[in-house]
Structure 1
Amino acid sequence: IHTYLLSTSSPEGISELELNFTEEGCAALTSAFNSNPSNLIELDLSGNKLGNTGIENICLLLKNPQCKLEKLKLCGCGLKEESCSALATVLRSNSSLKELDMSNNNLQNSGAKKLQKGLEDKNSLASALRSNPSHLIELDLTGNDPGQSGVKQLNDLLQDPNYSLKTLK
């Protein structure tokens, strides 16, 4: 992967990449993209057991100011609440990421709270999204339980034309 990415020097770069690997692959991916920024706009890591180390490496990639990733799919990656802290920090600082799919993970309420806390240290994920209305346009939490009040608050954002959030699953 690393050699391939380093050899891709076309102006168009790689626009979409779907990989099948674990924590070690995330480290190689991060290293390659940090040494050769590309036009990667979509990264699908669904179904890979990334673990905390893998997520931390992906977050390092997302923190790179030259990273233009707009869509990140982490469906069924075995993510738990520990992964949410690193991801929440990236959501706050990465302005290019527009869609995050974390469906079919075991985030539970505690994971959702970590996302919320890392985003804005507010009382809810909905509050954090309200504080940055033009950032995230799609949020997929399928298979996770933000609680009844969390669902209501997030649904309220969908109805408000002042916010960019258009899709909530």
Structure 2
Amino acid sequence: MVSLLQEVLAHPTSTIQHLSLIKCEMNLSGWRGISSLLISTKSLKKLTLSNHQLSTQVVDILCDALLQSDCALESLVLPYCGLTKAYCNAIGRVLLLSRTLKHLDLSVNYLQNSGVLTLIISLLTHTCQLQELELCGCFFNTYICPQLSKVIMTSVNLRSLELGSNHIGDAGLLLLCDALTHPNCKLQNLGRLEQMLQ
């Protein structure tokens, strides 16, 4: 399958921009093939990999590809991929160094407070180009809201932040709403507010 995808996407007439591979059973060789697609295919802008149990090795392979200068991917969608805080260092490095990635969806992964905090460190740097981040259902709580508030107040590029189905509560939500009134806030969407009061 991956060989066929490489052939199709590498064809000079190919204009495919979104590749969606949902719940596919691939071995390590297949994932290496996907990573090579990210590097070799200039037209590919979005990759959806929902419903996979991604290993640390696979995530490292994908993240290494995203950091190559030839990678043009702008959107990576990874809901229900079994990701935990252990994966966040590699993902945070991508956020820190990628020149093209604008949208990242990590919804419904067990990142917890420590995993999200690792991502926040990258979001607070001036090199981070990310514009849209989705963290719905990632099992974090009020504890990280002061750091998320800093992101909202200081990030130059971030425009949309989805945080629904996490245990932020009233106190956390107040911190986030206060951050929205900061004069340096560039955020245009703080999504699913009604789901943050659990």
TM bucket (normalised to shorter chain) is: 0.7 to 0.9
| CA-based RMSD | 3.1
Q: Say whether residues 1:31 and 2:33 are aligned partners.
A: no
Partner of 1:103: 107
Query: Does residue 1:94 correspond to 2:98, yes or no?
Result: yes
Q: Does 1:4 align with 2:5?
A: yes
* Residues 10, 158 of structure 1: alpha-carbon distance in 2 compared, 3 angstrom cutoff: farther
1:124 is paired with a residue whose SS is helix
Quote the offset at 1:108 in angstroms: 0.6
2:191 maps to a residue whose letter is L
Percent identical: 28
Q: 1:69 to 1:139 in 2, by over 3 A?
A: farther
- Whether the aligned pair in 1 keeps the contact of 2:152 and 2:187 (CA below 8 Å) is no
1:82 aligned onto 2:86? yes
Query: SS where residue 78 of structure 1 aligns?
Result: coil
State the AA in 2 paired with 1:27. R
List aligned pairs for 1:13-32, cutoff 5 A: 13-19=15-21, 20-22=24-26, 24=28, 25-32=30-37
Task: Provide the secondary structure at the position in 2 that maps to 1:43.
Answer: strand
Q: Using the alignment, how far apart are the partners of 1:23 and 1:165 within structure 2?
A: 40
Q: CA separation in 1, counterparts of 2:81 and 2:114?
A: 17
C-alpha separation in 2, matches of 1:148 and 1:56: 37
- Residues 106-132 of structure 1, C-alpha deviation per residue, up to 9 Å, x if partnerless? 0111111111234447x7244346444
Greater mean deviation of Cα atoms: 92-101 or 108-117: 92-101
Do the aligned residues in 2 keep the contact of 1:5 with 1:33 (CA within 8 Å)? no
In terms of mean alpha carbon deviation, does 100-109 or 23-32 score higher? Answer: 23-32
Residue 46 of structure 1: aligned partner: 50
Deviations 1:56-106 (A, max 9, x none): 122112112232222211101000001111111111222322221111110
5+ unaligned residues in a row in structure 1: which ranges?
A: none
Residue 124, structure 1, aligned to residue 147, structure 2: yes
Tell me the matched-pair count: 166
- Letter of the 1:137 partner, please give it: R
TM-score norm. by structure 1 comes to 0.76
Whether the aligned pair in 2 keeps the contact of 1:71 and 1:97 (CA below 8 Å) is yes
| CA apart distance, 1:148 | 6.5
Q: Distance in 2 between matches of 1:88 and 1:146?
A: 22
* Cα distance in 2 for residues equivalent to 1:113 and 1:127: 12
- Partner of residue 137, structure 1: 159
